Chains A and B, each alone.
Chain A
Amino acid sequence: MTTGLVFAIAGAQLFFLGVYSLIVHTHLLRRILALNVMGSATFLAIVGMAQRAQGAAPDPLAHALVLTGIVVAVSASALALALLRQLVAAGGGTALEEDREA
């Protein structure tokens, strides 16, 4: 068991925790949180797997990939939050229509 493998496996658990939460919750802010947790989990898995060998040197390609990913994730979240606010302002509530009817 190496540091990389520990965090890669934690990433795998967190990713499916996010998937679970995405399905069972209808509040859209919770879903945005779940997507963010899934993103962080993916980043952990990428960097962790690149470093799973004992004494492996850090892989700069994985780091650069995750660095861009973090910036894209925050911009996507901001766009999602702007959409949510617009939905609330338009009287649509905090859940999607099909979820409210269910």
Chain B
Amino acid sequence: MVNLYLVFDLLLALTLMWVGWRTLTSPDLFRGVVLFIAFGVLMTLAWVRLEAPDVAMAEAAIGAGLTGALLLDALADLRARRSHQDIEVSRLAAVSVITLALAGVLSWVMLTLPAQHASMHAPVTQPPNASGITNPVTLVLLVYRAYDTLLEMAVLLLAVIGARALHDEAPVGRAAPQYDLLAPAARVLLPAILLVAAYLLWAGATRPGGAFQAGAVLGAAGVLLRLAGLLPSPATYRRWMQMGLVSGFMVFLLVGVLVIFAGLPWLGYPATHTKALILLVETGLTLSIGMSLLSLFMSVPEQRSPSTHARASAS
């Protein structure tokens, strides 16, 4: 009688809340970061239960993978790795009561809203254009809400520029780490990772996948190479990297503007060659997202030097 799926959902939701709570309350920040990575993996499971495979893939690559790598990398630079609640008891009580009350009110609103509501599922899954794209999420990202996606690429680019502006030099290749297995494993895994990225890009037209997931996998491949010390000095490919960073935004913009000369609205797609054009834009997006994520990971201040490590280990 009991719906086992719902029991699983409840257990997963409770685990999510517990891990989230421990992430934010354990005094040891290293433990907090590791728990946050576990939180990302649990989020991936939640997306699968919510029938959102596209989101699940992005969460697995970014939420559980890249964000964790970024946080661990930043943590290595910090000497103060413990965090306590430094706040008076009276204020702590006030904050607890207010946030608990707000959480209660929001939950109550969610529970009492009528279950029937407008869904974009039907309008999107009956595409008016014969583009050959049948994955509704890709359709929303590249066709119906193309403007949003274009501006999102601009946001990503701004974040990269901001992170890189924070240090004086271009990021330098880090010394190869002392783990014997990392570099050989990275060499073996690299072709497989690139194949997965290419597959995700191609599959995104008809199945879960697309530029975002492919770009995330590409970025992860770059991070792996960097951690294994296999990336050459950035000075040798800085120009290519810059071109890769802007490729998504520029190709998207170019396609969006050029169609105007064919008498179409801005960011519209012509009736013919639609799929080829969308694939071209998506290839640019994949490159850009991959490069941006790698670049954000490489934006380490130049103070990160052997002396920093020596001081950290000595203290």
A24 to chain B, nearest CB (A): 5
Q: Mark A83-98, 1 if CB is under 8 A from B, else 0.
A: 1111011000110000
Name the contact of A7 in the complex, choosing from B5, B49, B124 (C-beta under 8 A). B49
B297 to chain A, nearest CB (A): 7
A74 touches B110 (CB 8 A): no
B160 touches A75 (CB 8 A): yes
Q: Mark B58-83, 1 if CB is under 8 A from A, else 0.
A: 11001100110011001101101011
A40 touches B43 (CB 8 A): yes
Closest A residue to B121 using CB positions: A57
State in angstroms the CA–CA spacing of A66 and B87 once bound together.
34
8 Å CB contacts to B: which residues of A63-77? 63-64, 66-68, 70-77
Closest B residue to A99 using CB positions: B86
| A73 surroundings in chain B (CB, below 8 A) | 67
A14 touches B116 (CB 8 A): no
| A2 surroundings in chain B (CB, below 8 A) | 6, 115
| A36 surroundings in chain B (CB, below 8 A) | 36, 67
Range of interface residues on chain B?
35 or more
State in angstroms the CA–CA spacing of A4 and B289 once bound together.
29
Name the contact of A63 in the complex, choosing from B16, B74, B137, B162 (C-beta under 8 A). B137
A17 touches B24 (CB 8 A): yes
A17 to chain B, nearest CB (A): 6
State in angstroms the CA–CA spacing of A70 and B110 once bound together.
23
**With an 8 A cutoff between CB atoms, is B291 at the interface?**
no
State in angstroms the CA–CA spacing of A84 and B79 once bound together.
12
Known contacts A16-B106, A68-B212, A82 near B95 by CB under 8 Å: no
**With an 8 A cutoff between CB atoms, is B190 at the interface?**
no
A94 to chain B, nearest CB (A): 5
A44 touches B140 (CB 8 A): no
Binding site for B on A (CB under 8 A): 1-10, 12-21, 23-27, 29-30, 32-34, 36-37, 40-41, 43-45, 47-54, 56-64, 66-68, 70-79, 81-86, 88-89, 93-94, 99, 102
A selection of 21 A-B contacts at a CB cut-off of 8 Å is A3-B6, A5-B110, A8-B110, A10-B17, A12-B107, A15-B106, A17-B20, A24-B92, A29-B75, A37-B36, A40-B39, A43-B55, A52-B117, A59-B119, A63-B52, A71-B58, A77-B70, A78-B70, A81-B71, A84-B74, A86-B166
